Structure formats: structure tokens, C-alpha cells
Amino acid sequence: KGKEPPVAPASAGVSCFWEGAMQIWAGLGNPGPQYAKHRHNVGFMALDAIAAWHDFPTWRKRFQGWTCEGKLDGEKVVLLKPATFMNESGQSAQEAVRFYKLELDDVIVFHDELDLAPGKVRVKTGGGVAGHNGLKSMSTHLGNDYVRVRIGIGHPGRKDQVSGYVLRNFPKADYLWLEKLIGAIAAEAAYLARGENDKFQSRVAYVMQGEDEPGAEAKPELAPKPSRAKSQKPAKHEGALANMLRRWLGSS
């Protein structure tokens, strides 16, 4: 309790081993409290928020990282935060993929994206790594055709400033959009689990704009209810998740 999200303590609790279809969602970042608020760690932030929103069990040490397992709208998902540091993220992911005997289309990687404006999210399969060392390691160890959730952090303007930019805390002025974005990613994650990547992308975009999709009925929550959820649970979780994000970022 009270730990920074990227170093969530492992638990000796029992974990379920699934049979049948499964996905691995890997967040990219660096382990340790000194990195927790860095722009480079937004992939870790996204996975922590997904785990919190959807009531995944406690994180535990596995595959050279931290994992927790659960279901998103009936789809089985293992969340993975590599502890191998950004440049060797692929080692951890490869170990998990081999263990579960998965294909690359069962792997989704969440990472920071310099070439997207802050607060934007795009989903794509395959493509280049654009100098991102975490993606480079993933592609080296897994191949290139995994799904990427690209989380926009903006560009400092000059190539020689990139390293210092990504390895620096988000400024407090960014917390307003960052909290909203990470919350939207978590709340809309079920679309990703079902393979509805375009729907996930558009839902996050409309949440960030404070709107609903054209022609869509107004919804009291950001995402479809988990199948086991009670009628009041989404609203409760929305407030709890917002509070958790503020605590992680030190903005409350």
C-alpha cells in the first residue's frame, strides 16, 4: 500500500492459470519510484489503472516483471510490467509469450509516443519503432507484428532533447489531461480485449473531448460494465480511480 505503481509489491497470493484463449498486455516503463512519474512510464501508468478499474488481483513477480491476471468483458488478459528496464523490455515479454504459447496478435504493448500530441491515443499493428528502445527490444525478442497502444506525450522539438524529455516527470500542468487520459484508457479497455481497436481509439478520443460518439446513446459510465458489476459500481470506480491517479501523481 502507498507504493508507486511501477513497483507494486509482489504478493504470495494464489493466481489462476487460464486454459484457452489469452492475451498479454505489456506496459513499457522503468521500475523504481524515481521513474514512476516520468513520461517514459506512461505505459506502466495505463496498466496500473486498468488493473484498478477492473478489479484485477494483486500484482506478483513473474516473467522478470510484475503480472496480474483477470478478465475484461469475458476476455482473459495478463497484464505485464517488465522489471528489466525499458531497453530490455522484450526479455520479460518473450518469457511470458513463450510460457503461454501465444501468437503476436495476442500481444498488446502500451507505450509513450513522441509523435502524437499529448492526450492523443492511436492503436496500430506492426510498424517501425521510431527510435523507441522499449519497442526495439520488443521487436527484437518477439517480432514486429504485435499491437501497439501509442499514448501521446508530445515532442520536445529537438532530437537532442528527447532523452531528457522522456526521462523527466510529467509537469503538474499536464496532470489534468493525463489523469483523464489514463482513466479513459482503463475504462474503455474492454474494447481492446474484444479486438475492437478502432472503437477503443474513438471512445478514448471522445472522452478526452468531453463528448459522446455521434449517434450514441448517453452513458452514465465511460465503459461497458464488467459482467459481474453492480449497477452502481462504474460510478464508484470512476471516483476511486480518479483519486488513485491523483495520489500516484502527487496532485492531491
Active site residues: 40
Give 3's contacts (C-beta < 8 A, 6+ positions apart): 9, 33
Q: 452513458: which residue's cell?
A: 219
- Helix or strand or coil: residue 119? coil
User: What SS3 class is residue 155?
Assistant: coil
Cell reading at 231: 449497477
Instruction: Give the C-alpha separation, 191 to 35, whole Å.
Output: 29
Positive or negative CA dihedral for 16, 19, 23, 28?
positive
Whether the CB-CB separation of 89 and 206 falls below 8 Å is answered with no
Rounded to whole angstroms, how far apart are CA atoms 184 and 49?
9
- Asked if 114 and 149 touch (Cβ cutoff 8 Å), the reply is no
Hey, is 124 helix, strand or coil? strand
**106 phi, psi to nearest 5 deg:** -95, 5
For residues 23 and 106, the answer to whether their CB atoms sit within 8 Å is: yes
